[in-house]
Structure 1
Amino acid sequence: MHLRSLVNAKNLLNKHSSSGFTLPEMLVVVLLIGILATVGIPNWLSFVNTQRLNTAQNEVYSAMRQAQRQAIKDKLTWKASFREQDGIVQWAVHPDTVNSSNANWNNLNSNVRLDSETNLNPSLSTVQQVQFDYKGNAKSLSELGRITLSSKSGGKAKRCVIISTILGAMRTAKEHTTTNDGKYCY
């Protein structure tokens, strides 16, 4: 009797056990993953682009501050220079006596570009630069302006570093929904 109940129990387990998922269950899971990916991927890409711009803005701000500090320390004129070379935005900090083409250039993230709102020393065509005198002041009124960064992949996100006074005061800003004198980053 004991052997017969064991065989019946084994048969009962085999009838109710499952060895995998059914096709409808798999289709529901694939559909849910597809919906989540469709909603989540654009938001994730936007987040990543914004983080890249924030990092690039911090690097530009730091470069300008470094040039200002060096000018005060050395009692000489120093420059923070910016350019796009082969589609990559680059920055350099160097004394005024060093030609910007001979400076030690550093790259920003390759997905960041100089936006058309950039107007730092617009008389120069290829290199945007700001000069600081021995007191850390912007060397002239033409030094006042902004470096504006945006993403190569599009979107409305912009980040700026602005030289706002002749005393060399700097600030950072991000895009606004309304314009101020034709600029969205102020």
Structure 2
Amino acid sequence: MQNIVSFKLSNYFQLHRQKIKLNQQDLVNRNIDDYNQQDAGFTLIELIVVVLLAGILAAIAAPGWVAFVNRQQLNKANDALLAVLQDAQREAQKKKLSYSVSFQKNSTTQNVEVAIYPTKKSDGSNLAFADISTWKPLGVDVGVSSDKFILGTNLSSENSAGSSVSYTLSTSAKMTFDYMGTLTNANFGTVTPPATEPSGIKIVVAIPSPQNPSSAGSVKRCIIVKTLLGSTVTKKDSDCN
């Protein structure tokens, strides 16, 4: 009798332990299912919130990014402008000939273009503006989009600085280096107090004004020539006015 009771108790505890294990396993499986269901994806509301937040952040960041890119392009254009003047000066010294640099805006492509060329033709006469054939977009070699900025100068005539910078390029937008690489008959402008020296010959690249694309905005870069030897300084923004 005692053996029978012991056997039954043993079976009872064994079945009870198996039941507890099954319950524990079922609980684990339920937790896993719940976790998988919760982690299965996003609700429509969550997606809408994420899209709205992304749009707001993009709207805030976009103007700053565009301004940064424009400034970088303008810096590269100014570097290219300096390289053009230096190339013309070197060509004049190397070939012992007078070399000129001219600027224009191509009416078809809207690109700002520059040309380096011998000032005189083989017969000794000056090369006419209409006969210049070496035009190329400013900064094309360094990846600058020259239709994104405008160029201006204070050149009132060849090698002569006027009182203000004009963004309407004409045949007067011309600089000439003689066979020694110096600026012939240069006029660097008048001294306007409180300044103590002439303003110099200015070549300016600028981001167009949003209100008037043919005039300059506040973001500018420029090369200023102040000596007969063609020495240059680079300036920006209000110093280029």
Same fold (TM over 0.5): yes
2:204 aligned residue (119, 142, 148): 148
Long gaps (5+) in structure 1: 177-183
Contact 1:121 1:129 in 2 (8 A): no
Match of 1:129 among 169, 174, 191: 174
* Deviations, residues 32-85 of structure 1 (Å, cap 9, x unaligned): 212221221101000111111111111111000000111111111001111111
Inter-partner Cα distance in structure 1 for 2:60 and 2:171: 40
Choose which of 59, 63, 66 in structure 2 pairs with 1:42. 63
Q: Secondary structure at the residue paired with 2:227?
A: coil
> Shift of residue 153 of structure 1?
6.2
In structure 2, the gaps of 5 or more residues are 1-17, 122-126, 139-145, 159-168, 189-199, 211-216
2:154 alignment partner in structure 1: 119
> Letter of the aligned partner of 2:58 in structure 1?
A
1:185 equivalent in alignment to 2:233: no
C-alpha displacement at 1:106, in angstroms?
1.3
In structure 2, C-alpha distance between the alignment counterparts of 1:80 and 1:125, rounded to whole Å: 13
Q: Which has the larger radius of gyration?
A: 2
The residue type paired with residue 93 of structure 1 is I
- Report if the CA contact (8 A) 1:121-1:130 is conserved: no
Q: Name 1:181's counterpart in structure 2.
A: none
**Greater strand fraction, Structure 1 or Structure 2:** 1
TM-score of the superposed pair, with normalisation by structure 1: 0.82
Aligned partners of 1:92 and 1:104 also within 8 Å? yes
Query: Equivalent residue for 1:166?
Result: 228
Number of aligned residue pairs: 177
What SS does the corresponding residue of 2:218 show, helix, strand or coil? coil
Comparing 138-147 and 71-80, the one that deviates more: 138-147
Corresponding residue for residue 88 of structure 1: 111
Alpha-carbon distance in structure 2 between the residues aligned to 1:20 and 1:94: 67
Q: Identity of aligned pairs, percent?
A: 35
SS in 1 for 2:205: strand
> Paired residue for 1:110?
147
CA–CA distance in 2 between the matches of 1:106 and 1:142?
27
